[in-house]
Amino acid sequence: MMKKLGIGFLVIVFAFLAFVYVQKGKIEQKLTALLQDNRIQVAQSRVNWLPSPAIDLAGVTYLTEDMSFSAERVRLNFSWWGWLFGQSAIADLQLENGKVRSNLKENFYFQQINAVITPENLKLASLPALSAQYRQGSAFPEKMPELFINVAALNEDEDKLTFEGALKPISSGLRLNNVKAAIQLKKRRLFNAEQILLNWKNGEILRLPQEGYIVNLAGAEFNHIALNEVNARIQTEPRLNAVVQFPFISDKGRLSANLESHSQSTRPEPYHLMISAQHLVLADWLKAFNIPDLISGDVSVEADLFSQDALPRHGMITGRVTEGKLKGVGLLALIGQYVPLNYDESELNNKHIETSFDVLETQFRWEPEGIRVDRTQMLHRDFTAKSQGYVDLITGYCDFMTYISSNDERYRALTLPVHFFGDCKSPQYKVKFDRDFRNQLKDFLREKFR
């Protein structure tokens, strides 16, 4: 009896090994044909069995006229269940230390690419047909199953990019759902932001008949700000032009952006981003860009920004804030020390004081590491303040010269010069009793006692 069992066991083992050997031969044949058809060069390939069936490719290279791709290692993992039934279903694809470079007009370069791509239901046998569709010009073959993607990479500036989401090709493009994307900036250059977070629940990218795309996103967030709906139209020829609409930000906010590219022969910074926004919550956007939230209120903005790549680095911005507050400074109490106004003296030394205002209008230049304010005018029912100065985005240091005048007809001839400096969150101040102020005071007294 034991002898029969032993023989039976050996028969099963040999049958399994024979099956595995046949499967391995089939896979190696398919793999060789697939690599050759797609002009993919591999330094070394092998089929592994443990801990699960897998194809290991080392030294992978793929070259075209438009781009080059290489990876130290690409691994296709299979499930034992599908393997035993001869289906060779791909469990996932793992990519290690990849590089990709574009040779097109809009150049890009990514390195240290590490990714895990998990298909919903993809068999090794279907790859030749999918690759054939790709070679015929279909960037995302319609019959490709849904892919769950998790990828990380460094760009040319060594910013770390991560992307996680579900991708599903459709007849006119593809769907991108439950996406979490992030850029960890090696050097702060988007105002003072250390990172860019962009998430959305549902999205689609649709191809246009003439070299372009339509992008629609729902449930979108940018650095924890609810963008809600995003609609974009991107034209790639004859040059890049993108129009992006954000129609429902917060309660009543909206924003539109237009990105244009120009030849570097005509402009040293070929990317021009124009932004128009109305009724945004200012405190939320200052926090998103890691800027000291000195001012709160409802803001409308017009901006012209420029860059050598798609991420803006400097530009000119004008803004109008209504129903706002200035944190850390009590301007009403300050002017009240020199002009007869009603104010609470105990508030003067309170660093948490907030000065309410009706309207604040400003124009400033955003530089890579700071904001240079050319002019700012704050309107309050009792006074008007005009300022010029600089905000260091790296250190949080502020330096402003402010001229405050009373709206009372009796004292309008006096303008109080105040120098604010130090930590933007709790600045110090010094009243400048300079020659101009002394001459104002003399003229004021001469007029009063004439």
Q: What is the greatest pairwise CA distance in the chain?
A: 132
pLDDT of 401 reads 93
CA distances from 56 to 22, 49, 76, 123 (A): 18, 11, 7, 17
pLDDT of residue 263: 65
Write the Ramachandran bin of 76: left for phi over 0, alpha for psi from -120 to 50, otherwise beta.
beta
The pLDDT of residue 340 is 58
Task: Determine the pLDDT at residue 341.
Answer: 54
Going by DSSP bridges, is the β-strand pair 160-170/147-155 parallel, antiparallel, or unpaired?
A: antiparallel
For residue 133, the model assigns a pLDDT of: 66
Q: List, in order, residues 6 or more apart from 67 with CB less than 8 Å away.
A: 100, 101, 102, 103, 104
pLDDT at residue number 415: 80
- Low-confidence stretches of the chain (pLDDT beneath 70): 1-38, 80-88, 104-106, 124-143, 263-268, 310, 338-352, 433-450
Please provide the size of the chain in residues.
450
Alpha-carbon distance of 183 to 167, in angstroms, equals 20
CB 369 within 8 A of CB 345: no
pTM for the predicted model, two decimal places: 0.79
pLDDT of residue 338: 67
Question: Residue 294 corresponds to which tokens in the numbers above?
Answer: 């000195």
Per the listing, tokens 């009243």 go with: 431
For the chain, report the end-to-end CA distance as a whole number of angstroms.
132
